[in-house]
Amino acid sequence: MARVGTISTPHGEIQTPAFIPVGTKATVKSVLPEAMADLGAQALLANAYHLYLQPGSDVLDEAGGLAQFMNWPGPTITDSGGFQVLSLGVGFKKVLAMDAQTFRRDDVIADNKERLAHVDDEGVTFKSHIDGSMHRFTPEISMKVQHEIGADIMFAFDECTTLHNTRRYQELAMDRTLAWAVRCLDEHKRLTDERSTKPYQALFGVIQGAQYEDLRKKAAADLGGLESSGQSFDGFGIGGALDKDSLGTIVSWVNQVLPEDKPKHLLGIGAPEDLFVGVENGIDTFDCVLASRIARTSAVYTMEGRFNLSNSAYKRDFTAIDDECDCYTCTHYTRAYMHHVFRGKEIIASTLATIHNERFIVRLVDQMRQALLDGNFADMKADFLGRYKHRSGQARD
């Protein structure tokens, strides 16, 4: 199901498959937008929930939209806030449990975390993680916030479940997500007409259904064929609970059902081995905070796998992080220097490591695209995975 394509937006094109780096709060932490462009990022993904809380979506609207506000010349994407509202709500702030088979309860929360969100059929009431103030997101409010933020691609507001939830709850959440999808399309249409002087913003629906084949396929059929107010989804995100072992299976179920001519985005997936699985099952774009988040802890990707620059083994290692990498960091700095700035807690450590990791992942997906064009994707995948030592995770901010 692997394919190459082009997504056209008012701010430029995205050649797919592509990895989209994450700038949650309208910044890729520690890196200038120019450096992101230099390392090959074609678009950036920010988060509606975080920007709504701070500085407020109205501020971005006044600034002329997200791209203008953050001085990014290319396409932008916003995640709807559904995942953040609900993941913060159950206390799984950083990582959706990928391997959790032990709980099957709907009231599960992480240890020592106060429940911050409550969902009902109309929307979600939640407490700000910044100042404890109470807020409410509905499909209509999410659309308003995302229209004000002004990204080229937005996501519908969905109820994101985890692998902890029961099957019965997954069914309820899916029905709710479908009802919310209709409301998102209606409000999106209304706002597009009302703000007709603004560049067109595309709206992607989000496919839930956890690990259940019938639920995933039903969600893909329902949202794939959905039309309301003369509006249908411009593309789709595959979200929710994704068990690493069944990632490829779930993506293939969904992509067999979704309309072939629309883009498919895999939300929050970015470990190298998972990107191959996504591409070969028809995914066009990915986003993940993992590359930049682990960079700030001194963990870097190489063709041989991941390692930590702060490890004392690198104190006198005067080679590049990865001698096959063409990034600014690898062409100008050594592991020994990186070790030194990480140990000294220098700010430049985050900057240089993030540039390397983002380049590594962006380039890897670009190389998959080229391999698809050249007809040797299977060989390229076998070569990479033969050398790369696996470690991974799923991560959204």
CB of 98 to Zn ion, least distance (A): 27
- Count of residues of this chain found to bind Zn ion when the rule CB under 5 A is applied: 5
CB of 319 to Zn ion, least distance (A): 12
Tell me the C-alpha distance between 37 and 55, whole Å. 24
CB of 348 to Zn ion, least distance (A): 15
CB of 384 to Zn ion, least distance (A): 16
Beta partners for 300?
Answer: 307
Among 85, 156, 330, 372, binds Zn ion (CB under 5 A): 330
Q: CA 228, 77, 149, 116: dihedral to nearest 10 degrees?
A: 90
Contact code string over 337-376 relative to Zn ion, x by CB under 5 A: -------------------x--------------------
Q: Which is nearer to Zn ion, 103 or 328 (CB)?
A: 328
Is 335 a binding residue for Zn ion by CB under 5 A? The answer is no
Neighbours of 37 (CB within 10 A): 14
Among 70, 32, 75, smallest CA distance to 50 is for 70
> What 3-state DSSP class applies to 109?
coil
Q: Which residues of 279-318 are buried (b: 16+ CB within 10 A; e: fewer)?
A: bbbbbbbbbbbbbbbbbbebbbbbeeebbebbeeebeebe
CB of 313 to Zn ion, least distance (A): 19
Q: Which is nearer to Zn ion, 41 or 96 (CB)?
A: 41
Strands 12-16 and 5-9: antiparallel
Contact code string over 290-329 relative to Zn ion, x by CB under 5 A: -----------------------------------x-x-x
Catalytic amino acids? 79, 287
Tell me the C-alpha distance between 158 and 139, whole Å. 8
Q: Which is nearer to Zn ion, 115 or 363 (CB)?
A: 363
Q: Which is nearer to Zn ion, 126 or 301 (CB)?
A: 301
CB of 364 to Zn ion, least distance (A): 12
Tell me the C-alpha distance between 96 and 305, whole Å. 23
> Whose structure tokens read 């559904």?
82
Helix spans in 195-245 (H)? 213-224
Q: Which is nearer to Zn ion, 285 or 329 (CB)?
A: 329
CB of 334 to Zn ion, least distance (A): 12
Q: CA 242, 248, 253, 256: dihedral to nearest 10 degrees?
A: 130
Tell me the C-alpha distance between 123 and 114, whole Å. 20
Q: Which is nearer to Zn ion, 149 or 295 (CB)?
A: 295
Is the Cα torsion angle 381, 387, 392, 397 positive or negative in sign?
Answer: negative
Q: Output the six-digit token pair for 70.
A: 């953050």
Q: Which is nearer to Zn ion, 60 or 330 (CB)?
A: 330
Where on the chain is the footprint of Zn ion (CB under 5 A)? 325, 327, 329-330, 356
